Chain A
Amino acid sequence: MEHEPQRDNRAPEPLTGVAAWLFRALLPIAERDEVLEDLAAERAQRAATQGRLSARFWLWRQLFGSLPALVRRAWWRGWTGFEPTANRLNYGGFAMETWIMDLRFSARRLVNRPVYTLLAVLTLALGVGGTAAIFSIVRALLLDPLPVEREEQVGVLWMDGSWTEQEFLHFRPDFPGFQRMAAYMHGDQTLEVDRQPLRMVRGISASAELFDVLGARPFIGRTFQKGEDVVGAAPVAVLSHGLWQELGGDPSIFGRQLRLGGESRTVVGVMPPGFWFPSPTIRVWTAARLKPDDQDGNWTLIGRIEEGRTIEGMAGPLRAFASELKQRFTYLPDWDKTRAPAIRSLRDYIVGDVRTGLFATLGAMGAILLIACVNVAALMLGQVSSRSTELAVRSALGAARRRLVQQLVCESLLLGLLAAIAGAAVATAAFRTLLRVLPLGTLADAARVDWTLFAAAIGFALLAALLVAVVPAGALWRSRLQGSLATARTSGLSSRGGRLEGGLVVAQIALAVLLVAGAGLLLRSVANLRSVDIGIRVDSVAVIDATMPVQLSSDERLRAVLDILPALEALPGVRAVAAALKLPLRGSGHNFGIGIVGKPDLEKSTTAFRTVTVNYLAAMGIKVVRGRGFIPTDRLSTSRVVVVNEALAAKYFPGEDPIGRVLQTFDDRGERIIGVVANVAEQDLTDGPVPARYMLYEHVPIFVPATSFVLAGQRPEDVPRLLDSGRQVIQREGRALAIERTLSMASIFEDAVGVPGRVAVLLSLLAGLAMALGAVGVYGVISHSVTRRKRDYGIRLALGLPPRRVASHVLGRGLRLVGLGSLIGIGAALMLTRLLATLLYGVRATDPQVLAGAVMTLVIAGIVACFIPAWRASRTNLMSVLRDE
């Protein structure tokens, strides 16, 4: 029954090449030689009887046919641990077998230690999730290419927002060093669509070259052409993809008319999805109307530099440009543009301001991830040294050190995988929180949750897992495994392992103290900012920002505002309704020069100027301290009246009574002061009282096509309802009004608190995380040290030591770790918190109360973390300890 191949006297040609390599890789070591020889022999026999080609074909069929079965076999061997007796002396084979075995073993270990597993996974997940979230944001905003062709060739000139049409048009044919230059400025538009309320669309007004400078091609139609941006040209507009879709997504929109800003514009193109400039919220680009003699300076110049040049190498051409400017135009010394010519790369211009904040957050999250890794590494170290007997036995039975380390790495990778899943969930939540909390402005729209977030989570988790395994694996590699068998009976402690763990936890505590101190400083600053007396009611005031078509005349704007007020006043629950051109806490601007009848030698100066309606002071809760506020009859009277604040009275009428005096703003007729009100934070929160005056809408020309409506309710809970009904009223009856946004005075106040507030939230989150992680670390170390000293404690308790002495000994060890960490942390805080100086208000960077508070917080966390191990130690039963041995 046997069919041996015909024996050739010569040995058959051995297998070589890919076939041999694959078979060698997949077969168990014990079987490799025999199978390869047999395959070679049969191939030789087939070559002799059927030809070389047929023999080779047979061999490859064997290979490919066997691959799935051999891989399955390796998996099955790993999973079941099967090793035939015949191969025992020469075991091993495809590496996958041992990996699968080790993964199963590690999984069993993790399931049998739920507390350790949960602690390790959650710790890693927190670090991984936070880092993945901020990394995703950084990638989207700082690393992803802008929707601009070869962005490194595009730059923005200095004095952005201050160039005049005259300057731009003069140099338009030839800007030194640039291929092409474009000008743009903000140009939000009202959009009228049939049977829909008037709406506001963010946009910019641009010269015809803008899209050429950006190198952007349209999705439908075209971009601007030469000649479309001068006075007299037919008005045209280019839409964003998003706006086009909102309007129906009709591909035949090219050439249609759209009523933008009160006039008909022809839509000439639609930009592709994903294109944005200069911020993701801009949805329409309108061609400007440039006038060669216009001297209003509102334009930003953006240009593509000549081929072969770099942004850094533009100093020469810019100096040439500046000197030509100086020759052609004259500038007052205070507003001399030619002084410091400079250019910023487009990326720097768009994201430069947020770059530091983003990188700082990335750094902080990276530190958190590091802490988490350190924590889990310490936990694993603890596991390794409590397994030292088991590992010594394995090593004595023949396990190679490499194999033991491989098992450790498997456990670590499993933890990493679980942490990746949990971390992805944490990352999604963290992403949304970070977007809200970071000062990103409109850029936040460019960042979205997408698959890269989860890929980042998995990537960081695996990296963390490998990092985590390094220290315990190193300890395992170096340790004298056999030696620990000898000392097991006498419960010798591997003191080196204990010191390493302790050192890792001290480092964590130090980092945690640093972050808690930083958070504490910022929280105090924010509290100080919040307690600034701003002079207005904040809690139950709703605000609706609205805008009008730019074509309206001053009278039409006045009517648009005044006519809607009665309908708003009729809303239920409204205490008072008013309108103003500019509300408090919204930065500087709207400053007008002041003249005073009877003070002809007054130095030229300006004060804040606010155009308001008659109920404004009541609606905002501004106190009248002398004289009176506005009354309805003031509106109709031909003699103008003005209300001033205490700061203005103090500055311009020191020691006098300002009531009845006449100010001059627009003409010699002037306006009479009728009252003095308390100071209000008209500009920024921290500015201190600035002189300000208030006049009625009816008495001043309305310069801007925007206004803010203020609806004061009875209670803070009224605000959402007021916004809703106010919005409906304006949409229904305000035919010339488009709502820009609805918000509350409370959120304007929060915005005014600004960056310190947001960073405070962020830092507090990080500090909370660091503290939790630090506590976990302390728990891990102390718990493990208690386990190792079980015998000691059992003996001492049996000999009569009071349990609370044992507990306090354990607590003492924990507090020593916390104390050492706090000391280092305080040192770091004293050096590093001055980096926060620009964000602090009313508190020093080295405030001792805050630092002491940080230490106390960590001490309390440490005590809480040590509580269970200490209690466990004090309850050690010597009999059960001896039995366990």
Chain B
Amino acid sequence: MNSAKAPEMGGLGSFEEQVMLAVIRTGADAYGMSVRRELERVTRRSVTIGSVYITLDRLEAKGLVTSKRTAAGTDSPSRRVFSVTSAGAKALSETRAARDRLWDGINLQPFLREV
């Protein structure tokens, strides 16, 4: 069974970017449910646990995040916690740079006035 493939360079999907940022924001204890909560809190949109897990799996397969198992505690089960890899961080900054280039020189005022 193969896990990590060679990391892909270039643009991340929008939700992939959001999940990776949420993993970073959540910090040390970034398990599926906590990532989901952070994402929901910041984007103010409802997020399902299934979509978070499938995205995390694909990101891990691409080598952009990694996961490990914590030991089970007295009142908490063993959890799979995620963290962003250096390849993932690189992908994030490239995506951000591409987005900045797209935003460069954009003035939204004329469009906002029409509303």
Contact = CB atoms under 8 A, between A and B. Distances in A.
A3 B1 contact: no
Contacts of B80: 30-31, 34, 84, 86-87
Contacts of B98: none
A62 B50 CA distance: 8
Identify whether the interface residues of A are mostly helix, strand, loop, or mixed.
Answer: helix
A69 B53 contact: yes
B50 A68 contact: yes
Nearest to A74: B54
A296 B57 CA distance: 89
A539 B68 CA distance: 88
Contacts, number: 102
A38 B34 CA distance: 9
B16 interface: no
B75 to A, nearest CB: 7
16 contacts: A1-B27, A2-B27, A4-B34, A30-B80, A33-B78, A34-B31, A61-B46, A66-B48, A66-B50, A69-B51, A70-B50, A73-B53, A82-B57, A84-B57, A86-B67, A87-B69
Interface in A44-100: 61-62, 65-70, 72-73, 76-77, 80-87, 89, 91
A39 interface: yes
B67 A3 contact: no
A31 B25 CA distance: 22
Contacts of A61: 46, 48
Interface string B57-83: 110110000111100000111111000
Given A34-B31, A34-B77, A69-B54, A83 B1 contact: yes
A38 B33 contact: yes
B2 interface: yes
Interface residues of B, number: 35
Contacts of B25: 1
Interface in B39-58: 41, 46, 48-51, 53-54, 57-58
Contacts of A66: 48-51
A89 B32 CA distance: 19
Contact of B49 (A33, A35, A89): A35
A718 interface: no
Contacts of A30: 69, 80
> By CB atoms of chain A within 10 A, which of B2, B33, B68 has the most?
B33
Contacts of A73: 50, 53-54, 57
B1 A82 contact: yes
Given A34-B77, A38-B33, A3 B41 contact: yes
B57 A77 contact: yes
Contacts of A91: 1
B50 A67 contact: yes
A55 to B, nearest CB: 14
A35 B33 CA distance: 7
Contacts of B76: 37
Given A65-B48, A69-B53, 6 more contacts: A26-B50, A31-B80, A38-B33, A61-B46, A70-B50, A72-B54
A82 B2 contact: yes
A61 B29 CA distance: 25
A89 B66 CA distance: 16
B103 to A, nearest CB: 26
B33 A2 contact: no
A26 B54 CA distance: 12
A42 interface: yes
Nearest to A42: B33
Interface in A5-30: 11, 26, 30
Nearest to B76: A37
Contacts of A3: 34, 37-38, 41
Nearest 10 pairs of A and B residues by beta carbon: A66-B50, A65-B48, A69-B50, A38-B33, A83-B1, A73-B54, A86-B67, A70-B50, A66-B48, A69-B51
Contacts of B27: 1-2
Contacts of B79: 34
Given A1-B26, A1-B38, A3-B41, A70 B54 contact: yes
Given A2-B29, A34-B31, A85 B58 contact: no
